[in-house]
Chain A
Amino acid sequence: MIEDDWQDNATSLIERLLPLTLATICLLLEYVPIYIGIFNNIRPDFGLIAIYFWLLNRADLFDLKSVVFIGLLDGILSASAFGLGLFGYLLMYVLMVNLRKFLNGRSFLVIWYSFMALSLIILLVKWLVAAVYYGQFLPLTPLMFSYLQGVALYPLVSMLLIMTQNIFVQDDEL
C-alpha cells in the first residue's frame, strides 16, 4: 500500500516536472558543441520550440513561472544581452495565452503554420530589441537561417517531445 503511494507520488512528480525538464534540455541543446562546421554551426531556437509545444499541449504544467525560468537560464548561458531571451519567451507566452483556444484541437498543419508565424514575429521583435541594445542592426541572414531551421525541425522536435511524454506518463493520464 505504502509502496503504491510512493510510486503514485513519484509518477505524479515526474509528470509535473517533465515539461520543464524537457524544455530545459531543449534550451541546453542550443549550447552543445557539435564540432562539424556545418551551416556555420547556426542552430535553431530549441527553447522557443519547446515553449510553444508545452504551452499548447500542457499549459497546466507549463506556466509563466516555467517560461521565466527558461528565459533566465537562457540569459545566464548566453553571451548576448541578459533578458533578451526572457523577453522573447514572454512574448511567446502572451501570444499563446491568447491563441491557445483557437489552436486546441486543430490539425498538426495548422499548429505548424502557427509556429511558423509566431516564431517569425518573436525573432523579428527580438532582432529589433537587440538593434536598440547594440545600437546597430544585426545581420538578418543568420537570423532567418536559424528561423528556417526551427520551422523545419519543429515536427521532429515535437514528435520527440510527444514520445518522451508517452514513455513517462501513463496512458490513462494522457
Chain B
Amino acid sequence: MKRRRSLFLHLTQLKILLKKFTLATMFVLSLILMLMSKNQSGLLDYAASGGTFVAAPIIRVLVWPAKMITKGYEYVHNLWYIQQDNELLRAENEALHKLQDRYKALEIENKLLTDLLNYVSLPNVGFVSARMVAEENNAFSHAIVAYVGDKKVNKGDVVLVNSSVVGRVDKKINNYAKVILLTDISSKIPVIIENTRIRGILKGDNTSYPKLVFTPLDAEISVGDRIVTSGVSGVFPAGLPIGYVSSIVKNEIKVKLFASLEKLEYVKIVNYDIGGLLEEDVDDRR
C-alpha cells in the first residue's frame, strides 16, 4: 500500500514537472521533428499521409472561391491587354508558320537519320495526368500536391507541363502525390546546355529562377542558351527541356523555366522506369 502511494506521488510529481516544462518540451519536439525530417523518417511520412488525406479535400473546397476570384481577375486583365495580345499573337502566328515548315523538313531528316543509325528509342512511357489541389510557394519551400487517384505513381517520377520538366514526385500519399518543384531549395538535377553540351546541376533556391551550378569556370554560357536534362543521375531521361539561361551576373547563372509554375493547373506525371531498366541491366551483367 505504501509502495503504491509512493509510486502515485512520483507520478504526480512527474506530471507537475512535465506541465512546467511543456513549452520547452514542445520546442525540443520541433527540433527533433526537423532532425527526423532531415533523415527522411518513415514515421513522418506516415503522419503526413494521414494529414494530407484529411486536409487535401478541404483545400479542394477552398479552391472554389479562389477560382472565382482568379476568373474575375483574368477577365479584367485580358480586357486590358487585348489589343497588345492580338498584335503579339499575329506576329507569333507568322513565326510559327515558318517554324512549321522547318519542323516538317527536320522530321523527315530525323526519320532518315534514325533509320540509318538503327537507333533504339526509349520504351513507351506510362503517364498520369493529375490536377493540382494544393500549392506551396513561400520563402521556405516550393511544392505542389496533385490528385492522382489510384494510379501508379512512384517516388522520383518526372513531372511535366507542356513537355517541359517542372519537378519530381517526392512521395505518394494515398491518392495524392507531393511534387517538389525545380525551384525548391532541395531540388538538384543534372542538366546540360543543349548547344554547347556543357554539364551542370540545376539547383533550386526558393526563387522563381533556379541556379545553374557546377559548370566549368571557363565554360562559354550565354543568355538564351537552352537547358535540358542530361540523364546523368539515371532518374530523369536525357533531353527533356527545362528552360533557358535568363541572366549571368558575377558567375551566378539563373535559369528561366519554360513552364509557368505560377499558373499550374494540370501536370503530367511520367514514369520512364529508368530505375527498372538500370536494375535489369545490372541483373543481365550478373
Interface residues of A (CB under 8 A from B): 25, 28-38, 40-43, 45, 64, 68, 71-73, 75-84, 86-87, 90, 93-94, 123, 126-127, 129-130, 133-134, 136, 138-139, 141-143, 146
Contacts and interface: CB of A to CB of B under 8 A. Distances in A.
Nearest to B137: A41
B170 A79 contact: yes
B226 to A, nearest CB: 23
Contacts of B22: 64
B59 A31 contact: yes
Contacts of A71: 30
The 6 residue pairs across chains A and B that have the minimum distance between CB atoms: A83-B33, A76-B51, A79-B143, A37-B262, A80-B141, A143-B139
Contacts of A29: 62
A35 B67 contact: yes
Given A82-B34, A83-B29, A90-B30, A32 B63 contact: yes
B38 interface: yes
A95 to B, nearest CB: 12
Interface of B: 22-23, 26-27, 29-34, 36-38, 44, 47-48, 50-52, 55, 58-59, 62-63, 66-67, 69-70, 73-74, 132-145, 170, 178, 180, 184-186, 205-208, 260-265
| Chain A interface main SS type | helix
A138 B73 CA distance: 31
A77 B137 contact: no
Given A87-B27, A87-B34, A127-B139, A32 B59 contact: yes
A31 B178 contact: no
B186 A134 contact: yes
9 contacts: A28-B59, A33-B132, A36-B73, A73-B51, A76-B48, A76-B51, A77-B52, A79-B142, A139-B205
A146 to B, nearest CB: 6
Nearest to A25: B62
Contacts of B37: 75, 81-83
Contacts of A79: 136, 141-143, 170, 178, 180, 184, 186
Contacts of A83: 29-34, 36-37
Given A34-B70, A79-B142, A79-B184, A40 B38 contact: no
Contacts of B260: 37
B184 A64 contact: no
Nearest to A147: B139
B136 A78 contact: yes
Contacts of A34: 66, 69-70, 135
Contact of B74 (A36, A81, A127): A36
